[in-house]
Each structure stands twice: as structure tokens, then as C-alpha cells.
Amino acid sequence: MLLIGLTGSIATGKSTVSSLLGQPPHSLPIIDADLLARKVAEPGTRGYKKIVNYFGPTTPDLLQEDPDGKFKEHGAPLNRPALGRRVFGDSDERKRDRKILGTILHPYVRLEMAKAVLYYYLTGHWAVVLDIPLLFESGLDIFCGTVVVVAVSDPATQMKRLQERDPH
């Protein structure tokens, strides 16, 4: 089975390319690392618990408010913008926190990716797309038979896309 690595910087069009590869005539299965990262950080998961244990005491707005008490069973969802403010930036503290968040989530994401690849292999797919923004940084490119890098030639276009998608 061919593993096709799909990567590129933020707001370059990876999702568009991924969508095209997932539709006819290609109809390739897509394993999206960002979606898996969200999945492994959902309330009740081990990833969620580790994030809350580490970042919760020093990030008061880490969890979404729960005025109706509907999240009692597994916990309130993460306030992703608050966590983003905590881990994104150039300061040494932000870099350290980003690395810790990666240390928490990446093993769970890799496990989910491996299970998905095995499933698609066992169900007879000839190729699978691994949509991984940090493909090279994670070292997962070594498992890919080919890599597609999505880029934008105009940085202003990329910035506009990013601002439209994530105004915060």
C-alpha cells in the first residue's frame, strides 16, 4: 500500500488538496492528523486528562464554560483559542508549552494513525493520504512512498486565508 504524505504550512490549501484526493476519481482514504489531534483531546480521553492536569492550574480559561452542567460526565470541552494563546508564540515559555502539548498528544495521534492505516490496508486500499502538517518535523515522512507539499506563492494570500479562517 502506498502512503502519500500531504503537508504544507498553515493556510496553504492542504484541506483543499486533501478533499480533492478523497473524491472521485481518486477516492483515496484521508487520515487527517489535525482531526485525530482533536479526537484524542476530547473530554474523557487520556489526552484530555493530561492536558487539563498540566495546563489547567495555570490557564484559568482552559475549559469552555458549562452553565447548564451538560459536561459533567466527561468534562467541559477544551477552549482551543485559550490553549492556542498558551502554546503559540516565540517566547521560550510558549515554545516549552508547545513542546509539552506535543509530547502529550503525539503518541495518541500516532496510535490512531497506525490503526487507520492498518484498517485501510486490511480492507484492500491501494493508497492512503496522510494529511500531516508537521510531516517532516515529526519524522513520519520516512513511512511515505511519496510526499506532496502544498505551498502558496503569495504570502499575502496565505495570511488572508488564515485571518478568514481564524480571526482570533
Give first-to-last CA distance, the chain, whole Å.
40
What CA–CA distances, in Å, run from 105 to 34, 53, 84, 101?
A: 11, 13, 14, 6
User: Per-residue confidence at 4, pLDDT binned at 50, 70, 90?
Assistant: very high
Mean local confidence (pLDDT), 19-35: 97
- φ/ψ bin of 12: left (φ > 0), alpha (ψ from -120 to 50), beta (otherwise): alpha
Q: Residue 88: which of 96, 134, 150 has the closest Cα? A: 96
Tell me what pLDDT residue 6 has: 98
- In this prediction, what percent of the chain has a pLDDT beyond 90? 81
Tell me what pLDDT residue 103 has: 96
Average pLDDT of the chain, as a whole number: 93
Mean local confidence (pLDDT), 139-149: 97
Tell me what pLDDT residue 112 has: 98
